[in-house]
Amino acid sequence: MHTADWYSYPQYFEAAFADETPFEADFLPRAFERFAGGPVRRLLEPGCGGGRLVIEMARRGYDVTGLDNHPRMLAYLKRRIARYERAAGRGMAQVVAGDMTDFRFSPRFDSAFCTFNTFRHLTTEQAALDHLSAMARAIRPGGIYVLGFHLLPPDASEECIERWRAKCGRAQLSYTLRVVQSCRRKRLERLRVTLLARTTKGDVRAATEFDLRLYNAAQVRSLLAKVPEFELAAVYDFDYDIDRPRRLDNELSDAVFVLRRMPSSR
């Protein structure tokens, strides 16, 4: 038995969300076509983790740059990219070490995405604004930023326990996510994720606690109003149905925001 932080096992971290990959990767090109001005080829994913979407979008023909600051995630993705064979119709993939709140790229990207709650790891208003400002610098005018994260409507329960299973090679994986503390006034919730991996070499247990920032619909609107470089082009949910946009209201909990980069002097 070995116990560690679950970020120490990037392959198991990525497997936890692998079922989401085809839905996200199918939605992104449709969003580019519908909302982005001009062709989209070069993509950025901030907070890319182990790179499940970096690799998948490269396989679909895009040139994708992943940005992350976790050493094990970076090393894991670099190994994946080294094994990735670029065939006809496939794009390039690369990973860069960096902070989500302070980065610059040149030339700018055609569009970007950050689909599954990574944004909520930015636990202050200033950090969120710094990130959105950095993204505005990184995306060309007319490009879009697809940003997905959970909202907590005013009447929603603050308690949550989720359990699910996955596979990674021959390893059988069991995950439990639990909200252990929540404060609407401070707009923070603390989550604990536990992992049990049953492998041919024995069991691995991992446990991690981390804070996420809370948002409701009004708080998202307030945040976006402070970043005039982006306009809110559309809102969706985690069904990723391009023909079924949602309203940004208190009925929405699983939110996907399509932010379009406005022309400016920046």
pLDDT at 1: 44
pLDDT value at position 265?
Answer: 44
132 occurs within a structural domain: yes
The CA radius of gyration of the chain, in Å to the nearest whole number, is: 18
Q: What is the CATH number of the domain that holds 166?
A: 2.20.25.110
Q: CA-to-CA distance for 204 and 13, rounded, in angstroms?
A: 13
Q: 109 and 201 share a domain?
A: no
- CATH number where 247 lies: 3.40.50.150
Predicted local distance difference test score (pLDDT) of residue 12: 95
Pairing assessment for the beta strands 161-168 and 171-183 based on DSSP bridges: antiparallel
Note whether residue 25 is domain-resident.
Answer: yes
Q: Are 229 and 264 in contact (CB under 8 A)?
A: yes
16: Cβ contacts below 8 Å, ≥ 6 apart: 164, 166, 173, 175, 195
In angstroms, rounded to a whole number, what is the distance separating the alpha carbons of residues 148 and 151? 10
Beta bridge partners of 3: 205
The answer to whether residues 73 and 141 belong to one domain is yes
> What is the tens place of the pLDDT at every residue in 227-255?
999 999 999 999 999 999 999 999 999 99
Same domain, 194 and 124: no
Rounded CA separation 134/12 (Å) = 30
State residue 4's pLDDT score: 67
| Alpha helices in the chain, H assignment, sequence order | 10-15, 21-35, 52-59, 71-83, 125-138, 217-225
When pLDDT is cut at 50, 70 and 90, the band that residue 3 belongs to is: low
Q: How many domains does the chain have?
A: 2
Residues 173, 222, single domain; the answer is no
Q: Would residue 220 count as lying in a domain?
A: yes
Domain that holds residue 127: 7-153+215-261
DSSP 102: B
Calculate helix-pair angle for 52-59, 21-35, nearest 10 degrees: 60
159: confidence class by pLDDT, cuts 50, 70, 90: confident
- Residue 13 confidence (pLDDT): 95
Residues 206 and 234 in one domain: no
pLDDT in tens, 178-227: 999 999 999 999 999 999 999 998 999 999 999 999 999 999 999 999 99
